Structure 1
Amino acid sequence: MSILLTRVDYVNVGVTSRGTTCVFASETKQSQKFAVADHDGVLHIFCFKKGELQVLFKSLPGPKINRIVMGGMTSMPKDKIFLAHGNTVVGYTKKGKLFLKFETGLIDSITALYVLGSDLAACARDLYHRYRECKDADSYLIGEKLYDVVLVPIGNTAVLAVLACGDCAIRVLRGTKNPSILRLASIPTILSLYREGDKESHDRILMGTIDGKVGLLMLDNEKNIRISWVLTKMNSEITALDSYEIQDSLDLIIGRQDGSIEVYTLPSDEDILPLLRFRYNAGESISSVIGGIISSDDCPELLVTTYSGKVFGLTSKSSGFLELNQGKLGINKLKFEIQQLQEELKKEYMGSLHSEDTLSPLILSVNHRLILNKEDASYTLLVELDRSIDNILIQSDTPIELLDVEGNNAVMSLSTCNHDDGNFLLATYRCQDNTNRLEIKLRSIEGQPGTLQVYVTSQIQPKCCRKLLIPICALSLHTRLFIEDNESISGPFNELRLIGGFTLAEMHAWLAFALFDVPERPLIEEGSEAIMIYTSTLIGTILKCKYKKGTASFFSENISTIIILRDILTKKATQRKIKLEVFCDIADDSITKVLELILPKLTTLNELVEKINILDTLDTWEMKNNPADMCTEYQNLIKNESDLRQQMTKSCDALQRLHAIITDLYVDWERAKGSRRISSKQASEKLHSAIESMDMALLLQAFIGKDMSAASVSVPVLL
């Protein structure tokens, strides 16, 4: 059953990070106090009295606040605020009284925080650390970026730590013992204990992922964690999760990177998926969304905070009641906003008086992220400001293709570039008014690394500018795999071996230039050997990296991957003046394996092009008006025309890309075999007829010089 929620704006604070809004627990159905912390280091505590928003406490500005959580005595309502800035945790009461300032001793800034009774869990980069009564209890070095943590009590004294890790895994840790691991299809970015009212579950945890999935985790015991259900309808990153009874039933509340807020009804049966009952888009990314009773007694609503610091409610209060009270509330609200604007104007004026150079550009607060889209082997660059964007200028020293983004209303202009000067792309996006978030979709070319320079300017203050440097890796369209059993990966494989005076950490750093999403630290297996496994999002070939001090081995069916990696690593070694011995073992059968992966995709795309050509011909001859007179095949084409054209739009350049992959494969094959170097043009001319025929025998004959279609192919196991 759908619900109707109405937006009511409350207040604006500074730029906010995720998880920096909390609602105080209440045992009665009365308006709840709430707290918001921002990048200015200010903690705000608000409440509603007689229908008017009031500031109970406002701290002095300080370091950027990364996270706030609620805490308190076990089995009691949570009534204390714990906030993290840098490596420090600070505690406040609900009245704003400081009662704790704790230096954790962590080297990196705290990015995830949780408090359970006297236990405090903090995550900094890839290190989890737990304190009990501000004393070290246990810690664990994951080696992967940690996104979130929750603590679950066991008995009277023990706790379990549930960690959301950057290697697509949920880890359940008790003390310093080896954690139990649940592998996922994507990276979990947020965890939230399932709650009914103010009671938090000890065995159910809500989870959100970087590609927009939401799931319910079931903690059966200390070792066993499983997934009950997963929602996969949207693809924007999850930034906030909660569960709360808004109307008639317990609801799942979701906030997303693209500004979407969704409410799903939660079923009592864990085998049934939640049903959507409300959706709203705030126009900018959601930092927090929490269910509670905020502005009116006995009237549930969603309290929402956005990246730019807007705080508003989505209330179930009837619109008529809202209009009745709008007069007095509106006047008080306007007075409060005028006071805020006067204070901000005064700060800007005083800042300009003390500025040594009034023409120097101010630094903008920019929220940005580069996300790999596995479905079409492209990237999405998200750029967001706390104010309106004027222009975004993109410059690249490597070939980059800009793709269309649905719903992107910015006007793009391309400028002529001189490739001889190392300038391959110069594009400007001019944004419409009140646009503070923009998605840019792009695609790079494997084997051509470089740097993307992004310049962002603001509409409100044209002098403000921010420069972003975004590296484009040589094998950027490879994504990391996490496979516990290496025997499930089989060949035939080409092998690259490097022997030299490098360290394990050094080789790990070099690989970060070649591959996307390399972990913070090497994933060391037995014998001090690190192992990473990647797969190509384009064609599905595997790359396995095994390295330790002085030696490194790389395995892949795709000889192009091996050659690209060889070129990058030898270049890095040369820059460090490290001598390398390079060995390359070529497996003839690997060509067959790669072509077997490419040809079905090529066939599917050719069939799609043929269907579109038939539809275009029917349009030209105006024959669609009487589909009943046509054969069954043409009738089905007309019936599915919309879907077919949509597929064609998404795959408009896929054929050319697959042709280019086969051509590059031949060029690199010749290089690896020690033959003469040939150009892509020469390779394209030689392979043209074989590619057009899509015949495996002809392609193998062009590569190897003999027909291997009937030959037996040995498939060695990669250990």
Structure 2
Amino acid sequence: MDLSLSKRDYYQTAITSPRTMKLLPARSPTASQKVAVADHDGIVTCFGVRKGEATMVFKTLPGREISRLELGGAADAIKDKIFVASGPEIKAFSKKGKQFFNFDTNLTESIQSMFIHGADLFLCGTYIYNQYRDCSDLNYYLSPDRINDVLCLLSGEGDSQILPVLACSDRMLRVLNNSDLMYECEVAGPPLCLALNKNSAPDEVLYGTLDGKMGLIQLQSDGPSFKWEVVNERGAGGIQCIDLYDLTNDGVPDILVGRDDGQVEVYALDEAKEPTLKHKSNLLEGVSSISGGIVGRSSYREVVVSTYAGHVIGFTTEPSVKEIDSSLPPSSAVDEITAEGQARLEKLREEIDELHEKVTKERAKYQASTMTETAVSAVPQFSVKDKFVLNDEDASYGLFLEVQTSIDYVLVQSDVPVDLLDIDSSTAVVSYSACDVESGNYLLATYRCQPNTKQLQLKIRSIEGQYGTVQAYITPRIQPKVCQLRQYFIKPLSLHQRVHSFDDTRPLNVLKLGGPFSLAEVHSWVWFCLPEVPERVPSDDQVSLYFRSTFLDTQLECTYRKGEAMFKSDNVSTISIIKDVLSKKATERKIKLSLSYDINDESVSHTLTLLHPKLEHQLLLAKKVQLIEALKELEVHEGSREYMVAEYQEILDNADKLQAEFKLQPSHLERLYGMITDLFIDKFKFKGINVKSKVPQLMTVLEEYDFESLLQFFAGES
């Protein structure tokens, strides 16, 4: 990283939604640009920056929460018109603030994403895509999963060459042709945002995913072509926004990335290779929008971001230390810099005094209102942004919380067995309370945050087959004390992830269900069992969904329609969990099911083979960690480690790394033992044999682990 940028604070608005800030085009390439930003108070603000201070161009009246802001204009003209989406409405303002357009689409869903090209409006709600031309409905598409963003490929002349691209939560990019699906392609994760690769091929699209990955794909008319993908090795947050801008002025656009954990990144784009990281900053506030341009001072390029809490911040290439003009006498130059600094300090002091005065008045006003007999203390309102996402790298859930003000503490409670994993970047102090497991309370932990902490990230590992609710009580540092409750459902097959392929060559177990149930009912059962299943009932008569276990790499196929359902998996325990849960759900609805299953004994040895390297690694890790203290004592006693064998020397050399890995994965070995035990019980349960009395023998085999002995034990019990 060799790019140095200086931070500038420009403006403060209310809470902002993703992609609600843009820079208006300037008259010349080196002129300063105006910033347009929209917030949850329904206010559109346009301002410029002069002498380091924001100067207002216009500010609209409050209204409904604004969910998206885009720039538009005539197809061949400069895009300097500001379009905003609030609910089902679209409004447009000129660069001077005059409203010239108001269109009520009458959509049943609120508009979440938008793209504008000339007289065409491409609007997306949660599942519905609509194209309007001159306010007339032109095209329509119902997506099978949630739509996160939309853009259009302008691959040729004429309106017939406009191809909308939808970024959907099921890890799919869907390319449309009018109202029809042209084709779809799977990407590395659930795509949250899209951006056109400017100054390159007109059909190249950048995408950022919920789990922090980024990629470039060429969406040609005959199919997709993947260029590169940047994995999220550092465990950074999800990518909320992407822009391309030549920040370094070398003729090649750089990639600007904003993440929901507050990281702002600049990547240098090389057409022959993957992009390289040139700059990284952390705002400690979720980034909602990012754009490149010239704002603070003419001729100095910068990255402008808006945060979830409403801060508009710039990262400029202007040097943070002002250079002294060599033509001036030294004393005059110093006096000039000192005078400028003093003026800024005086203005800041005036603003602070003004804020203190306002706070004092409001506090006195509130205290006076509470002295009356009929006074009722008002509950302060605050906004919480949360995310509960399965991480396929370590098969754990990441709970991400962000509050518009500082967090005091967060109480986490669970009625299902889960483990809280340590996160190195977390500064919160965690304390655990005793729980009564018999009453269904398995976890009670309190995270106390440091002052000025607006974000908190937790890692939770669940056990498949045990499902329930994790609750987070979020309390900010405001008076009077108030908290918000957020609930997250741990599903029966919580460690499974949606994919779009299935390997038929593996040994498979099959479960078939029949009965008087509708497509909506069986879909609701599948949604209850598995993550990443859309709540909306599919429009097709028959549905096929595919999943992969992030922990074991086993797979699952779900095919269902009205009155019939079939599940295939190479893991017997997965089939057993589905059978138990669906039978329970059907009994609740008083639906009589007919069940049939075909269990493949080869799938058991196949699953044990997948478990073997994980189990062997954990056993070896635990053995090495147990030896560390003894080896250290020997080293101190003998004064040297040269007499030790190479294996012991390697353990001492990597002691910190081994202990850190072991600490990050508590109860991992017990979790693997539990999976093998469940596999043993489930295998014979389908044969009508209860083998729970043999579990102690199985544990003895596991304690003296040998893969061949384990296979013989499973085969011998048959």
TM-score by length of 1: 0.90
**Structure 1 residue 648 displacement after superposition:** 3.1
Aligned CA distance change for structure 1 residues 65 and 344 (closer, same or farther; 3 Å): farther
- Residue 700 of structure 2 is matched in structure 1 by 689
1:376 to 394, 412, 428: 394
Output the amino acid matched with 2:226. I
**Structure 1 residue 367 displacement after superposition:** 0.2
- Residue 230 of structure 1 is matched in structure 2 by 229
**Structure 1 residue 361 displacement after superposition:** 3.1
- Residue 334 of structure 2 is matched in structure 1 by none
- Written as runs of structure 1 = structure 2, the 5 A alignment for 1:433-512 is 433-483=451-501, 486=502, 488-512=503-527
Q: How many residues align?
A: 693
**Helix, strand or coil: the match of 1:546?**
strand
Moved more, 162-171 or 367-376: 162-171
Identity of aligned residues (%): 38
- Residue 549 of structure 1 is matched in structure 2 by 562
**Helix, strand or coil: the match of 2:181?**
coil
**Contact in 1 for aligned 2:421/2:666 (Cα 8 Å):** no
**Structure 1 residue 21 displacement after superposition:** 0.6
Note if 1:367 corresponds to 2:385.
yes
Note if 1:61 corresponds to 2:65.
no
**Helix, strand or coil: the match of 1:540?**
coil
Whole-angstrom distance in 2 between the partners of 1:74 and 1:341: 49
Whole-angstrom distance in 1 between the partners of 2:359 and 2:56: 17
Output the amino acid matched with 2:157. G
**Contact in 2 for aligned 1:52/1:332 (Cα 8 Å):** no
Aligned CA distance change for structure 1 residues 634 and 703 (closer, same or farther; 3 Å): closer
Output the amino acid matched with 1:222. S
- Residue 283 of structure 2 is matched in structure 1 by 282
Output the amino acid matched with 1:312. I
- Written as runs of structure 1 = structure 2, the 5 A alignment for 1:169-568 is 169-195=172-198, 202-219=202-219, 221-232=220-231, 233-235=233-235, 236-249=237-250, 250-267=253-270, 270-321=271-322, 325-329=340-344, 331-332=346-347, 358-359=376-377, 361-483=379-501, 486=502, 488-522=503-537, 528-568=541-581
Moved more, 125-134 or 78-87: 125-134
Whole-angstrom distance in 1 between the partners of 2:72 and 2:172: 26
What do the CA deviations read for 1:2-32 (whole angstroms, capped 9, x no partner)? Answer: 1221111122111111101111012412111
- Residue 572 of structure 1 is matched in structure 2 by 585
**Contact in 1 for aligned 2:68/2:85 (Cα 8 Å):** yes
**Structure 1 residue 429 displacement after superposition:** 1.2
What do the CA deviations read for 1:231-258 (whole angstroms, capped 9, x no partner)? Answer: 2244321112112122343322111111
Output the amino acid matched with 1:231. V
- Residue 18 of structure 2 is matched in structure 1 by 18
Output the amino acid matched with 1:656. E
What do the CA deviations read for 1:608-651 (whole angstroms, capped 9, x no partner)? Answer: 33344444432120179645544444444444445444433334
Whole-angstrom distance in 1 between the partners of 2:16 and 2:165: 25
Moved more, 72-81 or 202-211: 202-211
Whole-angstrom distance in 2 between the partners of 1:683 and 1:613: 29
Whole-angstrom distance in 1 between the partners of 2:288 and 2:312: 10
Note if 1:78 corresponds to 2:79.
yes
What do the CA deviations read for 1:125-166 (whole angstroms, capped 9, x no partner)? Answer: 122221111111212222111111111223122311122111
Whole-angstrom distance in 1 between the partners of 2:362 and 2:69: 26
- Residue 122 of structure 1 is matched in structure 2 by 123
**Helix, strand or coil: the match of 1:172?**
strand
Output the amino acid matched with 2:272. D
Whole-angstrom distance in 1 between the partners of 2:684 and 2:249: 68
What do the CA deviations read for 1:519-556 (whole angstroms, capped 9, x no partner)? Answer: 2445576xx21111112122122111111001111112
**Helix, strand or coil: the match of 2:680?**
helix
- Residue 663 of structure 2 is matched in structure 1 by 649
**Contact in 2 for aligned 1:364/1:465 (Cα 8 Å):** no
**Structure 1 residue 491 displacement after superposition:** 3.2
**Helix, strand or coil: the match of 1:571?**
helix
TM-score by length of 2: 0.90
What do the CA deviations read for 1:492-529 (whole angstroms, capped 9, x no partner)? Answer: 2222221111111111112111111112445576xx21
Output the amino acid matched with 2:215. G
Note if 1:3 corresponds to 2:3.
yes
**Structure 1 residue 312 displacement after superposition:** 1.5
**Structure 1 residue 393 displacement after superposition:** 1.3
What do the CA deviations read for 1:45-101 (whole angstroms, capped 9, x no partner)? Answer: 111245431122222222111111111112322101111111211111111111111
**Structure 1 residue 339 displacement after superposition:** 6.5
**Structure 1 residue 686 displacement after superposition:** 2.1
**Contact in 1 for aligned 2:266/2:279 (Cα 8 Å):** yes
Aligned CA distance change for structure 1 residues 85 and 314 (closer, same or farther; 3 Å): same
Output the amino acid matched with 1:698. S
- Residue 333 of structure 2 is matched in structure 1 by none
**Helix, strand or coil: the match of 1:276?**
strand
**Structure 1 residue 406 displacement after superposition:** 1.3
Unaligned 5+ runs, structure 1: 708-719
Output the amino acid matched with 1:245. D
Whole-angstrom distance in 2 between the partners of 1:517 and 1:3: 39
**Structure 1 residue 654 displacement after superposition:** 2.0
Output the amino acid matched with 1:606. L
- Residue 617 of structure 2 is matched in structure 1 by 604
- Residue 326 of structure 2 is matched in structure 1 by none
**Helix, strand or coil: the match of 1:128?**
strand
**Contact in 2 for aligned 1:127/1:143 (Cα 8 Å):** no
**Helix, strand or coil: the match of 1:619?**
helix
Moved more, 287-296 or 606-615: 606-615
- Written as runs of structure 1 = structure 2, the 5 A alignment for 1:117-156 is 117-153=118-154, 154-156=156-158
- Written as runs of structure 1 = structure 2, the 5 A alignment for 1:675-714 is 675-676=689-690, 678=692, 682-705=693-716
Computed over aligned residues only, the root mean square deviation of the Cα atoms, in angstroms, reads: 2.7
Unaligned 5+ runs, structure 2: 324-336
**Helix, strand or coil: the match of 2:546?**
strand
**Structure 1 residue 394 displacement after superposition:** 1.5
**Helix, strand or coil: the match of 2:603?**
helix
- Residue 715 of structure 1 is matched in structure 2 by none
